[in-house]
Structure 1
């Protein structure tokens, strides 16, 4: 099996550009990064599926090829295209909603995440908190106040 170098370079370029765009804070660039990565994966599936051949229909030939093309790769790529378009529509809806609410397309830091990350950074200097152990002397067979039927004593 021969591997062509041009599709592999193209896959690497699309993937690296997609990851770079996905790491941006702009929702449109994130969407473009997702689409580029999706196209790189589709090209990878097509490249890995092998050489083309006859259509996968009994009795059909194409240009005198001796092998039959693998229909699984084509079906997977078609499914991946549909899924990536659904993701693109969802991200576009998120971007539109965020723009309507804040009139900014940039994704900003969440104040609650910032507060939690600062809180975690200060807790590293302190001791490990101890987990309270349950008191085994409080366990009785009498119904507790959290039981489903507190007045039920059993059948008499």
Structure 2
């Protein structure tokens, strides 16, 4: 299963780079979204895909009983999701404002437009 997930992460990274190299600014943002999702999936896969109980220690015990899930990668992924949402919201507003001014989403035409 982990080798399949490695291929999925690689395909997502490749699709993100491809979309970011396109000339449309909307495709650039789609590439940024794919890049953040593939990075989150990479963190998740590298943490290990094992099932485990919540990392809770019962009263009177020194350590959790049995296999537990590692909470650190989950916390990192949740933080990354919030940051990616903020970047997405900012970029959507930036795209809308740029489109209102130059009336195009092509990066080459934006560069040549004098305002």
The TM-score with structure 1 as length reference comes to 0.62
Structure 1: 4+ residue segments shifted above 2 A:
108-111
Name 1:70's counterpart in structure 2: 70
How far 1:93 sits from its partner (Å)?
1.0
Name 2:47's counterpart in structure 1: 49
Deviation digits for residues 19-76 of structure 1 (CA, Å, limit 9, x no counterpart)? 00011121111111011111111111111111231102223xxxxx931111100000
Larger RCO: 1 or 2 (CA < 8 Å, sep 6+) = 2
Structure 2 CA distance, aligned partners of 1:17 and 1:70?
29
The unaligned stretches of length 5 or more in structure 2 are 59-64
Structure 2 CA distance, aligned partners of 1:7 and 1:97?
38
Name 2:38's counterpart in structure 1: 40
The TM-score with structure 2 as length reference comes to 0.83
> 1 or 2, which has the higher helix percentage?
2
Compared CA separation, residues 103 and 110, structure 1 to 2 (3 A): closer
SS in 1 for 2:44: helix
How far 1:110 sits from its partner (Å)?
3.4
Name 1:110's counterpart in structure 2: 111
What is the number of equivalent residue pairs in this alignment? 104
* Of 9, 22, 25, the match for 1:24: 22
